[in-house]
Structure 1
Amino acid sequence: MVKERRFAIVIGINDYEHMPLYYCVNDAISVRQILIDRCGFKSEDIFLLTSKKDESIKEMTGKYKEALRSISENFRKSEDSILFYFAGHGNYKEDKSNILFHDSEYPIKEIHNEVSALNPKVQTYVIDSCNSGGKVLTRGQEPFLPQEFLIGKYIENSDGAMLLYACGSNQKARETSEMQHGLLTNEFLNVLANEELYDEDGILTPSIIQHHVLKQTSQNSNFEQVPVVENRISGIYPFAFIKEEEKVSVREVEPVETDQQFSVKQEPESSIDEQKLPLPKNVESPSTVKKASYDKKSRLKLQEFIDKLLTKKLNDILESFMLDRSQYKVSSFTDINDLDFEGVDELVKSLVVNARGKKISPLDDIFTTTKRPNTRYYTNQFSALFKAFAPKEPEHIIEHSIDCKNDYIDINIKVLISDDIFSVSFGCGFIVYQSRWGLILTTLIFKLNWDGEKDNIIEDITQSDYPFLIQDDTYKLIEEMELKDFSTIQRTLTTWNEERKNELNSFIRAASIQAASLKK
């Protein structure tokens, strides 16, 4: 769908000498990933620049300019597009909004000048910093605003520009431990991850992105942080899109309430793609599959085989993982409803909605969706006056459930709880269930984040789906299958632990500074 080549410079800075930040590096890493997953960017075309205590980049100005030079060497004028993202401190001085590198106060207007000089097809700026939206690339609502500040100057040789600034020149940009992100970035990520906002062709346009980011950021800050947004793009530009194999038609799935603080990461492997499976050379094509093999006995025989084989593979992986990690204690669950963690409802929802969207729902109504009236919507003593100012209540509540006791589903989820606060707890496992045309294996990995008292919040859910026909060759296929999803546990956990360590160290430093100041 994307014909132009898309480049990006993504910057996140935590380790400021004064008032260090906690989540800007996490912001930048997450933005990079969603640009790859949803927006048609290739990893080699994204220049990620992050600075934190253990890996500090003090000469960020030079690194930014070096990235811009590298992009210019391969950039095709009027054909390729570029995105600039920044998370960190900013200020507003002498009628200019600046972002703060370690070695400079860099005017946002200068970044516009340098990026637009490439004559990009579309140029996008997402800046999550304080005071970022002051007199930069606006339509000129202020009378007598100099031409250098007007958006038209920068898009004369482009199809357009999209701009998202965290707030105006007199406001602060927020970041919170609950979100692990800056507020603007969190809403930007949520919008791109929310498939219900994509149109029937699987496209998400800049206007939709800006509308929802502006609305959610404003509401979730009680209007203390109101983004400055601008969009001047010709035609329908697919800023983000759902790949054909992942596309869910809005006509096939009932609307579902979304939690703006929650998103499920679907890795590229999560799409049902038979090309990725190590098919034996003599495997039969679907046209030769015999109906007789789809009886209950054959289905349950294959299901039992997969359950036993995957259980052994998972146990072997975790046994190796635990050899030098005595801080972890393992618990096993065969019923997802027994997981006593915050966010288990969202985990269930992600499985049910994903299965229905891909037309791989299980038999016997194992996955169900129930729609019931929301009594708070219909009965309220303050009537219209209350509704005008209170958060909007949905007319109906949609609940998702999984019947884990059914014969046609097997579940094996391992939860590893760490007694070391620097090591993140997590869960991993699989679900095997019978679908209409065969059998589905779904693998799961998720983080258990700290709620202030224990590791209790399910986050960063990754799921992958593997379809199998009910036939003899499937047994060999499954035996040869490599569970790459579980082999990435070590790498994923390293990233999570690094994020936890940085957050804790930042808090410890701040507490030490505070304690020292009180002693004076």
Structure 2
Amino acid sequence: MREFLILNCGFKEENILVLTDQEIEPELIPTKKNILESLEWLVKGCQAGDSLVFYFSGHGVSQPDFDGDERDGFSETICPVDFMTEGMIVDNDINSAIVWPLKNGVTLHAIVDACHSGTVLDLEHVYNRQENKWEDNSPPYGNARKHSDGGLAISLSACLDNQVAADTTAFTEKTMNGAMTYLLIKILKKYQGLTYGDLLDLMHEELEKVNESRCFSRKIFKKIMKRMLLQKPQISASKPFDVYKEHLIL
């Protein structure tokens, strides 16, 4: 993703911060503290015309919502490496860290390749691909703030809130890849000027092709289901827009 942003999207190397569990420097290990500080770094000083990208590839969990601001009764989380001692990073915290500060004219794209990631940014509008319409995801009770300070936040998630996201060798047969990350980069490199709707459709089509090929090559149902990629990538946003007219530009 780092290479893609630099070589294909014009991002400068010095403007990209990468945390991984393979780093040696303590401040670059994705602990809860470091991730939250990095989210603050991402949006600090943002101004009109800025394009921001938050990318997360890792574990995600769905847990009961105790604040009453989730329509399905569950909060989505991402897991830092020290979650066993420090806890998860909850969607409310991600929303307040990188959605609230977005000023008018600033665009944030969150690309989240994790299980249960459909509404992990707690954005107020979720796109229903089957019905081609935006659905309300605003808090059903109370006065919880979920909106930006005028800017636009768009989340591209690996799957719905109740689904898991796969790491798989289905696309290369040699290396393990996050299915969503692999397809996203492959499609954006191959097709120029895609709309958000085009991207979503192509990702779904690619996943369906893999599943169809695996069904024909497997005779035992249980084995098929274990190898199926059942995730459905999803788009959510702080403001609704025409997904087949707006072009995705990182």
TM-score interval (norm. to shorter): 0.5 to 0.7
Task: Give the strand-richer structure, 1 or 2.
Answer: 1
Count the aligned residue pairs: 200
Amino acid at match of 2:88: E
Q: Secondary structure at the match of 2:97?
A: helix
Q: Which has the larger radius of gyration?
A: 1
- 1:41 deviation in Å? 1.2
The equivalent of 2:79 in structure 1 is 100
Is structure 2 residue 44 aligned with structure 1 residue 61?
no
2:60–2:78 Cα contact (<8 Å) kept: yes
What is aligned with 2:107? 122
How big is the shift at 1:48?
Answer: 0.8
The reply on whether 1:220 has 2:213 as its aligned counterpart is no
TM-superposed CA distance for 1:51, in Å, is 0.8
**Number of the residue aligned with 1:239:** 249
Which runs of 5 or more structure 2 residues have no equivalent in the other structure? 65-73, 127-133, 212-227
Q: Where in structure 2 are the equivalents of 1:48-447 lying within 5 Å?
A: 48-52=18-22, 60-73=31-44, 75-94=45-64, 95-103=74-82, 104-120=87-103, 121-134=106-119, 136-137=122-123, 139=125, 146=139, 153-155=146-148, 157-158=150-151, 160-177=152-169, 178=173, 179-194=175-190, 197-198=191-192, 203-221=193-211, 222=228, 224-230=230-236, 232=240, 236-237=246-247, 239=249
C-alpha change, 1:99 and 1:70, in structure 2 (3 Å) is closer
Counting aligned pairs with the same residue, the percent is 25
Aligned AA (1:65): L
CA contact (8 A) 2:96 2:146 kept: no
Tell me, in whole angstroms, the C-alpha distance in 1 between the residues paired with 2:41 and 2:59: 25
Quote the Cα distance in structure 2 between the aligned partners of 1:144 and 1:122.
Answer: 20
Alignment check: 8 A CA contact 1:161 1:233 kept: no
* 3-state SS in 1 of match to 2:18: strand
- Measure the CA separation in 1 of the matches of 2:92 and 2:205: 25
Instruction: Output the CA distance in 2 between the equivalents of 1:205 and 1:42.
Output: 24
Paired with 1:47 and 1:118, the residues of 2 have a C-alpha distance of: 19
**Aligned mates of 1:230, 1:143 — CA distance in 2:** 10
Amino acid at match of 1:109: N
Distance 1:238 1:124 in 2: 10
Note the 1:25-64 alignment, pairs <5 A. Answer: 31-52=1-22, 60-64=31-35
Coordinate RMSD, CA, aligned: 3.3
Q: Say if 1:87 and 1:129, in contact at 8 Å, map to a contact too.
A: yes
Specify which structure has the bigger relative contact order, considering alpha-carbon pairs within 8 angstroms and separated by 6 or more residues.
2
Deviations 1:162-192 (A, max 9, x none): 2211112322111123353110111011112
The normalised TM-score by structure 2 is 0.66
Query: Could you tell me how far 1:71 is from its partner in structure 2?
Result: 3.7
Conservation of the 8 A alpha-carbon contact between 1:122 and 1:233: no
Counterpart residue number, 2:221: none
- Aligned-pair CA distance for 1:127: 0.8
Distance 1:76 1:98, change over 3 A: closer
Aligned-partner Cα distance in 2 for 1:69–1:189: 26
Distance in 1, Cα, partners of 2:249 & 2:43: 21
TM-score, normalised via structure 1 length: 0.34
Equivalence for 2:224:
none
Deviations 1:209-250 (A, max 9, x none): 33322332354355611122235458745515xxxxxxxxxx
Residue pair 2:77, 2:88 contacting (<8 A) in 1 also: yes
- Determine the structure 2 residue equivalent to 1:290: none
Could you list the runs of 5+ residues in structure 1 that have no partner in the other structure? Answer: 1-30, 241-520
For residues 244-279 of structure 1, the C-alpha deviation after alignment (integer angstroms, 9 at most, x for no partner) is xxxxxxxxxxxxxxxxxxxxxxxxxxxxxxxxxxxx
